[in-house]
């Protein structure tokens, strides 16, 4: 506390030294314990992880790959017992499967990883490793968290899980397929990046880079050509479409319209059907963090993670009922979606994406609200929203009424294309915007904004970083991605892209002061092993645990199952490198960073 008073900082911990090696590092005086690894059992009858004998059936009962968003939902208000909800964003087959990948040469003679044939079995394991996990966890008498394998809420959500499309676009012809004449029933969710937990305790999974999962050529008479071009469909990152027709747009041209949504899951009912809430629009949703406004309406913020895409917020029509959980379950089906225009004078206009308004009419190709929601990007283009440097997590601060917007980078922004909210051309390191909602009214349609931080190495003048000079050489970072606002209203940022062969540092979690003299000071709290990206930063409401998700560890660009850049976290020759969620606690107990 004395240290906090002396520096004006809201944080008190000894900073980690930036660097890169085979393992993770946390601030002195803290423990960082691996809680759940890819392949770990989630049910009493789950098979043991056997990397040489993987099957789709076993993966469906085990923790999935590439953990991203992490949420915690207390059970009965407990601090030491609750549901952990975790997204599994994507798969790295070259690191998952034995004998599949080798290092060869590309056309320019440079080393590259060559992936062998993805059989149907391997594809089905990948599909089972995507989605999300709901698992009961409990703190034992030693203050360590463990999964409760016979927990009645435990669930795996995956690419085969039946889901329902709800809201204004549900049932539209553009959402119908050969398998689903209703346009309301979809199998699965994928590329779930960040997310959120709603005030009524549901788990929200954002569908991000869905375009990567489709192959094939659209039929010549398809009306979706412009739509798919705007979203980059099909990108062919995965060959699922070779084994499952619905991921081949030549065979199932409407299937891509059924992804890119915000998915809401009721974790208290493991048999519930997850809902794809079309009212929030269809984009490459990074996250979906929400807050109850002072008038009772709920406001959800979302970034669309692509260069030159937009920041959104959704305001529900009805109000939150704190006394009746069931009354809130369909709040996300009815409301107004807004896209942000960041003006040069420091104001933001939140422009409604509503049919019949502002040119969103039949003449411009929007016959109904459903068309606006299916082609949200094109609607936002028409309104002249501000083209941003890859909006990632956007999160409201309930303590201060501010909203933090992570903009990860945009090296394609050309000199002359800058705007006040995206002030750097060739923006390699990203920045963070702080929005102030007037008088704490998160539903406001006119707000103000300023830049909290321009990221990158402050010792390189050309980078133009703007950290507070109190920031040490360990404390600067680039590529902000996910963030956590803790119950004291403090900002923690996780990064994606600092790890690399030449950087001498990795991704991690940085604590950032937002107030007073210390504003803009950043300190390194946790860093990942080589090749990993940092996801999921989340503190429990009592601030005694900080969960982080270590994603794609060992992935240094040339890594394979046989030769990962590290064998974190098991460090056994017969175990592959494994993404995992880590629980950080203070030795002897107490609040994190206080
Ligand atoms: Fe999944 Fe926007 O990174
Ligand atoms: Ca990212
Ligand atoms: Ca977040
Ligand atoms: Ca990420």
Ligand number nearest to the C-alpha of 208: 1
Please, are residues 134 and 267 in contact by the beta-carbon 8 Å criterion? yes
Report how far apart, in Å, the C-alpha atoms of 304 and of each of 165, 195, 426 are. Answer: 20, 12, 19
What gap in Å lies between CA 169 and CA 153, rounded to an integer?
30
Q: Is the CB of 193 under 6 A from ligand 1?
A: yes
Q: Is the CB of 266 under 6 A from ligand 1?
A: no
CB atoms within 10 A of CB 516: 11
pLDDT at 312: 99
Token readout for 295 is 């008038």
What gap in Å lies between CA 103 and CA 423, rounded to an integer?
40
Q: Distance, CA 1 to ligand 4 centroid (Å)?
A: 33
Please, are residues 523 and 10 in contact by the beta-carbon 8 Å criterion? no
Q: Distance, CA 429 to ligand 2 centroid (Å)?
A: 12
CA nearest to 65, candidates 41, 35, 37: 37
Q: Distance, CA 278 to ligand 3 centroid (Å)?
A: 21
Residue 278's φ and ψ, nearest 5 degrees, are -70, -20
Q: Distance, CA 67 to ligand 4 centroid (Å)?
A: 10
Q: Is the CB of 286 under 6 A from ligand 1?
A: yes
Token readout for 391 is 């909006």
Computed on alpha carbons and rounded to an integer, the radius of gyration of the chain in Å comes to: 23
pLDDT at 287: 96
What is the DSSP code string of 425-490? TTBSS-EEEEEE-GGG-TT-SEEEEEEEEE-S-TTSGGG-----TT--TTT----EEEEEE-TT--
Chain center to CA of 150: 28
Q: Distance, CA 204 to ligand 3 centroid (Å)?
A: 11
Ligand number nearest to the C-alpha of 306: 1
What gap in Å lies between CA 49 and CA 39, rounded to an integer?
5
CA nearest to 475, candidates 18, 3, 108, 96: 18
Ligand number nearest to the C-alpha of 533: 4
Q: Is the CB of 89 under 6 A from ligand 1?
A: yes
CA nearest to 238, candidates 122, 104, 64, 340: 122
Token readout for 468 is 């507070």
Nearest atom of ligand 1 to the alpha carbon of 208: 1
pTM over 0.90: yes
Three-class secondary structure of residue 586 per DSSP = strand
Nearest atom of ligand 1 to the alpha carbon of 193: 1
- Element (H or E) spanning 103, and its range? strand 101-105
- Determine whether 503 is exposed, middle or buried from the number of CB atoms within 10 Å of its CB (0-12, 13-18, 19+): middle
Residue identified by tokens 């789709």 is: 56
Residue identified by tokens 């959120």 is: 196
Q: Is the CB of 264 under 6 A from ligand 1?
A: no
What is the DSSP code string of 207-255? E--GGGG-BS---TT-TTHHHHHHHT----SS-HHHH-GGGBTTT-TTG
Q: Residue ranges per domain, the chain?
A: 284-454
Report how far apart, in Å, the C-alpha atoms of 380 and of each of 203, 214, 277, 340, 383 are. Answer: 27, 24, 18, 9, 5
Sheet holding 335-342, edge to edge: 289-292, 297-303, 311-319, 335-342, 347-352, 446-454, 431-436, 402-407, 391-396
Q: Distance, CA 284 to ligand 1 centroid (Å)?
A: 9
Q: Is the CB of 208 under 6 A from ligand 1?
A: yes
Chain center to CA of 267: 18
Report how many helices (DSSP H) and strands (DSSP E) the chain contains, helices first.
Answer: 8, 33
- Determine whether 580 is exposed, middle or buried from the number of CB atoms within 10 Å of its CB (0-12, 13-18, 19+): buried
Q: Distance, CA 289 to ligand 3 centroid (Å)?
A: 6
What is the DSSP code string of 138-171? EE-TTS-EEE-TT-TT-EEE-TTSEEEEESTTTT
> How high is the ipTM of this complex?
0.96
What gap in Å lies between CA 385 and CA 341, rounded to an integer?
5
Chain center to CA of 421: 22
Q: Specify the residue with its C-alpha closest to ligand 1, atom 1.
A: 193
Q: Distance, CA 314 to ligand 4 centroid (Å)?
A: 22
CA torsion through residues 487, 4, 465, 475, sign: negative
Bridge-based pairing state of the strands 275-277 and 162-166: parallel
Q: Distance, CA 305 to ligand 1 centroid (Å)?
A: 6
Please, are residues 19 and 506 in contact by the beta-carbon 8 Å criterion? yes
Please, are residues 580 and 36 in contact by the beta-carbon 8 Å criterion? yes
pLDDT at 2: 46
Nearest atom of ligand 1 to the alpha carbon of 209: 1
Nearest atom of ligand 1 to the alpha carbon of 390: 2
Nearest atom of ligand 1 to the alpha carbon of 284: 2
CB-based neighbours (< 5 A) of ligand 4, an ion: 481, 496
Q: Distance, CA 208 to ligand 1 centroid (Å)?
A: 7
Nearest atom of ligand 1 to the alpha carbon of 496: 3
Nearest atom of ligand 1 to the alpha carbon of 408: 2
Residue identified by tokens 């601090």 is: 79
pLDDT at 4: 56
- Element (H or E) spanning 55, and its range? none
pLDDT at 1: 41
Q: Distance, CA 175 to ligand 3 centroid (Å)?
A: 30
pLDDT at 501: 77
Residue 530's φ and ψ, nearest 5 degrees, are -50, 140
Q: Is the CB of 392 under 6 A from ligand 1?
A: yes
Residue 26's DSSP bridge partners are 526
Residue identified by tokens 């329902």 is: 164
* Per-residue pLDDT tens listing for the chain (594 residues): 444 556 799 999 999 999 999 999 999 999 999 999 999 999 999 999 999 999 999 999 999 999 999 999 999 999 999 999 999 999 999 999 999 999 999 999 999 999 999 999 999 999 999 999 999 999 999 999 999 999 999 999 999 999 999 999 999 999 999 999 999 999 999 999 999 999 999 999 999 999 999 999 999 999 999 999 999 999 999 999 999 999 999 999 999 999 999 999 999 999 999 999 999 999 999 999 999 999 999 999 999 999 999 999 999 999 999 999 999 999 999 999 999 999 999 999 999 999 999 999 999 999 999 999 999 999 999 999 999 999 999 999 999 999 999 999 999 999 999 999 999 999 999 999 999 999 999 999 999 999 999 999 999 999 999 999 999 999 999 999 999 999 999 999 999 999 887 889 999 999 999 999 999 999 999 999 999 999 999 999 999 999 999 999 999 999 999 999 999 999 999 999 999 999 999 999 999 999
Nearest atom of ligand 1 to the alpha carbon of 305: 2
Ligand number nearest to the C-alpha of 206: 1
Nearest atom of ligand 1 to the alpha carbon of 286: 2
């Amino acid at each position: 506390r004395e240290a906090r008073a002396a520096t004006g900082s809201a944080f008190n911990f000894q900073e980690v030294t930036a660097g890169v090696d085979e393992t993770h590092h946390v601030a002195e005086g803290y423990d960082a314990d691996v809680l759940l690894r890819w392949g770990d059992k989630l049910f009493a009858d789950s098979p043991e992880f056997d990397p040489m004998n993987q099957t789709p059936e076993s993966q469906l009962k085990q923790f999935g790959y590439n953990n991203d968003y992490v949420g915690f939902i207390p059970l009965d208000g407990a601090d030491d017992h609750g549901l952990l909800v975790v997204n599994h964003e994507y798969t790295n087959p070259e690191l998952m499967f034995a004998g599949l990948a080798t290092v060869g040469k590309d056309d320019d003679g440079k080393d590259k990883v060559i992936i062998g044939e993805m059989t149907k079995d391997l594809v089905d394991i990948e599909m089972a490793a995507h989605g999300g996990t709901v698992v009961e966890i409990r703190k034992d008498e030693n203050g360590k968290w463990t999964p409760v394998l016979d927990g009645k809420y435990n669930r795996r959500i995956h690419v085969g899980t039946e889901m329902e499309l709800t809201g204004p676009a549900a049932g539209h012809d553009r959402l119908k397929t050969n398998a689903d004449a209703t346009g309301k029933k979809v199998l699965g969710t994928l590329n779930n990046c960040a997310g959120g937990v709603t005030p009524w305790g549901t788990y929200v999974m954002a569908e991000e880079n869905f375009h990567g999962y489709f192959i094939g050529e659209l039929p010549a008479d398809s009306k979706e050509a412009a739509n798919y071009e705007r979203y980059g469909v099909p990108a062919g990152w995965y060959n699922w479409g070779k084994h499952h027709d619905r991921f081949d747009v030549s065979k199932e041209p409407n299937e891509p319209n059924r992804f890119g949504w915000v998915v809401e899951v009721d974790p208290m009912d493991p048999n519930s059907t997850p809902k794809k809430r079309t009212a929030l629009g269809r984009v490459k949703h990074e996250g979906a963090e929400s807050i109850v406004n002072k008038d009772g309406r709920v406001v959800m913020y979302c970034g669309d993670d692509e260069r030159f895409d937009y920041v959104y917020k959704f305001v529900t029509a009805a109000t939150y009922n704190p006394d009746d959980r069931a009354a809130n379950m369909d709040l996300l089906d009815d409301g107004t979606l807004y896209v942000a225009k960041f003006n040069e004078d420091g104001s933001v206009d939140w422009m409604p994406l509503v049919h019949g308004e502002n040119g969103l009419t039949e003449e411009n190709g929007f016959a109904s609200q459903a068309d606006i929601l299916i082609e949200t990007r094109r609607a936002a283009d028409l309104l002249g929203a501000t083209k941003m440097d890859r909006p990632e997590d956007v999160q409201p601060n309930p303590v201060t009424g501010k909203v933090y917007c992570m903009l990860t980078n945009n090296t394609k922004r050309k000199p002359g294309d800058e705007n006040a909210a995206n002030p750097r051309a060739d923006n390699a390191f990203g920045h963070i915007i702080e929005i102030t909602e007037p008088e704490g009214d998160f539903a406001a349609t006119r707000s103000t904004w300023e830049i909290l931080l321009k990221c990158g190495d402050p010792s390189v003048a050309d980078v133009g970083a703007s950290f507070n000079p109190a920031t040490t050489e360990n404390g600067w970072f680039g590529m902000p991605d996910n963030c956590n606002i803790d119950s004291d209203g403090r900002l923690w940022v996780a990064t994606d892209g600092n790890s690399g062969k030449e950087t001498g540092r990795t991704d991690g979690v940085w604590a950032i002061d937002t107030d007073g003299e210390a504003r803009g000071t950043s300190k390194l709290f946790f860093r990942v092993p080589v090749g990993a990206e940092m996801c999921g930063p989340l503190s429990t409401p009592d601030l005694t645990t900080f969960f982080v998700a270590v994603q794609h560890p060992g992935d240094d660009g040339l890594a394979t199952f046989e030769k990962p850049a590290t064998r974190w976290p098991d460090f056994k020759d017969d175990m592959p490198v494994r993404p995992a969620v880590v629980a950080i606690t203070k030795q002897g107990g107490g609040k994190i960073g206080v």
